Copies of this chain bind each other. A is one copy, B any other.
Amino acid sequence: MPPCCCSGRRCAAAALALEQERSERLLLNVLPAPVAARLKQRQDVIADGFPDVTVLFADLVDFTRRSERIAPEQVVQVLNDLFSAFDQLAERQGLEKIKTVGDAYMVAGGLPDPLPDHARAVAVMALAIRDEVARHADPSGRPLAVRIGIGIDTGPVVAGVIGRQRFIYDLWGDTVNTASRMESHGVAGCIQVTARTYQRLRDAYRFERRGPIDVKGKGEMVTYFLLGRNE
């Protein structure tokens, strides 16, 4: 071992600084920076209202059933590859990844920092997600051959952190439930949005109107399929 390059005290301080940097980097991966700062101050509940954000749910249609013949470790590897790519798309659009739930992925635009044109940023991400899934392969190298269902809504949410353990930054409210319903009541391979989201995007994007559909817990809703950007 080479002799120590500096006084022992300085080495200890450098080691502590390195350890702090590693903890902090991982922490800021898990929680948005302003939320982490408030939790460090031992704030009890964080529940912030945001009047206008866009929420997206993406679900791999039939992925659970199709992956039954593959070792679970490989399934997790496929999800990791795919969701890591989604994370990069979210970062590029300035969106906030909220969480993955099994084989579903949730992202929002317009929080915790404001984002002008969050509906547009989420639409760009939705179209990119569809392309990304088509490019990925299963563990044996074949195309994934899964289709993704995507649902989007725009409106108010409450964002925060609840409980005492295993904090995650999460969203609640009707906008969240409706975005999730747009996904679960959608069509594989399609991006279904509410009228609220459609109104924000109709000038720049092409849509197909879907006649009123019956949405669980909501009743009849007119929805739209996002097809692509206007030429």
Contact = CB atoms under 8 A, between A and B. Distances in A.
Contacts of A65: 217
A179 to B, nearest CB: 12
Contact of A16 (B17, B26, B91, B164): B17
Interface string A19-37: 1101110110111000010
Contacts of A169: 166
Given A20-B19, A165-B87, A80 B45 contact: yes
A190 interface: no
Contact of A166 (B23, B97, B158, B177): B97
A45 B73 CA distance: 10
A158 B70 CA distance: 13
A64 to B, nearest CB: 6
A27 B16 contact: no
Interface stretch (A98-106, A140-148, A222-230): A98-106
Interface in A25-65: 26-27, 29-31, 36, 39-40, 45, 47, 49, 64-65
Interface of A: 13, 16-17, 19-20, 22-24, 26-27, 29-31, 36, 39-40, 45, 47, 49, 64-65, 68, 72-73, 75-77, 79-80, 83-84, 86-88, 90-91, 97-102, 156-158, 160, 162-170, 172-174, 176-177, 217
Given A30-B168, A45-B80, 18 more contacts: A16-B17, A22-B40, A23-B27, A23-B40, A26-B27, A29-B165, A47-B76, A64-B177, A64-B217, A68-B174, A72-B172, A79-B162, A84-B162, A84-B164, A97-B165, A99-B168, A102-B176, A168-B168
30 contacts: A13-B16, A16-B16, A19-B20, A20-B23, A23-B24, A26-B36, A26-B39, A29-B165, A30-B167, A45-B76, A45-B77, A47-B72, A47-B73, A47-B77, A47-B80, A64-B177, A65-B217, A72-B174, A79-B172, A83-B162, A83-B163, A84-B162, A84-B163, A86-B163, A87-B164, A98-B166, A99-B99, A99-B166, A102-B176, A102-B177
